[in-house]
Structure 1
Amino acid sequence: MNLVVTLLGNEIPTMVVIFIIVGIVQILINRILADLGVYNYVWHPGLFRTALFVALFAATSLLIYK
């Protein structure tokens, strides 16, 4: 697999693209979970959001780089 993405003539590492995509997905998941009231039952919402982002980023990276 090519580890570099060319965007407008600039070479960008694939990890940066994955990071941005997962960040957008994280924002959407955060809004859904907030609307459902999940954060009322979580001990530390900031830690939960960070852990969710890390898990999504790691899973996506492992799928692509495997």
Structure 2
Amino acid sequence: MPLDITLFGVQMPTLLPIFFVTALFQILIDRVLADAGVYRHVWHPGLFRTAVFVCLFAIPCIAIYR
């Protein structure tokens, strides 16, 4: 897989679109978890949100750069 992609004539690293897709997916998951009341049982919600984002971002990154 190439390390750079061209989108509308702009060359960018492959991680940038993955980051934006992960951010949108994180917003969706965050709303679902908030509605389910998961954050009432989590010690530090901000840290938990960050950890979930890092895990979601790392999965496709590891798959691509493997």
TM-score, normalized by the shorter chain, greater than 0.5? yes
Question: AA paired with 2:29?
Answer: I
Structure 1 position 5, deviation (Å): 1.4
- Tell me, in whole angstroms, the C-alpha distance in 2 between the residues paired with 1:35 and 1:62: 30
Aligned residue for 2:64?
Answer: 64
Q: Structure 2: state its 5+ residue gaps.
A: none
Aligned residue for 2:41?
Answer: 41
- Tell me, in whole angstroms, the C-alpha distance in 2 between the residues paired with 1:53 and 1:22: 7
TM-score of the pair, normalised by structure 1: 0.94
TM-score of the pair, normalised by structure 2: 0.94
CA RMSD of aligned residues (A): 0.7
Task: Please show how residues 1-40 of structure 1 align to structure 2 within 5 Å.
Answer: 1-40=1-40
Runs of 4+ in 1 over 3 A off after TM superposition: none
Between Structure 1 and Structure 2, how many residues are aligned?
Answer: 66
Instruction: Give the SS at the match of 2:12.
Output: strand
Q: Structure 1: state its 5+ residue gaps.
A: none
- Identity level (%): 56
